[in-house]
C-alpha cells in the first residue's frame, strides 16, 4: 500500500519563491508549513488602492506613501 504524503505539511522553505531566508522570517510569525501559511490571517490590512494626498492624511492613521527620490547627498559628521 502506497503511503499518502500530505503536501500541506511540507516545510514552507520548499514553496516556490520562499527559500531559506524568507522561511526564517516566517518562523517569527509561527509559520513553518504550507498549512500554517494558509491558515495565517494578517492582523491588519492597508488598502493601497485608495490614494490620499499628504495634506489630507489623518493623525495616527496608517497610510502607504509613494514618492520618488530626486537627489541624494552624502553628509560627513564629526
Domain that holds residue 2: 1-41
Identify the pLDDT of residue 66.
79
| Total of domains in the chain | 1
Q: Is residue 26 part of a domain?
A: yes
Secondary structure (H, E, C), 6-48:
CHHHCEHHHCCCCHHHHHHHHHCCCCCEHHHHHCCCCCCCCCC
Q: Is residue 53 part of a domain?
A: no
1 has a pLDDT exceeding 90? no
Identify the pLDDT of residue 64.
77
15 has a pLDDT exceeding 80? yes
Average pLDDT (13-40) is 93
21 has a pLDDT exceeding 90? yes
Identify the pLDDT of residue 18.
92
User: pLDDT (tens digit, 9 = 90+) per residue, 29-77?
Assistant: 999 999 999 999 887 777 777 788 888 888 988 777 778 889 888 888 8
- pTM more than 0.95: no
Amino acid at each position: 500500500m502506497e503511503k499518502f504524503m500530505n503536501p500541506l505539511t511540507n516545510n514552507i522553505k520548499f514553496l516556490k519563491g520562499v527559500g531559506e531566508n524568507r522561511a526564517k522570517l516566517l518562523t517569527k510569525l509561527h509559520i513553518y508549513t504550507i498549512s500554517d501559511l494558509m491558515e495565517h490571517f494578517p492582523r491588519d490590512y492597508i488598502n493601497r488602492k485608495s490614494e490620499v494626498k499628504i495634506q489630507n492624511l489623518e493623525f495616527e492613521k496608517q497610510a502607504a506613501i509613494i514618492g520618488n527620490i530626486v537627489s541624494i547627498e552624502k553628509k560627513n559628521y564629526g
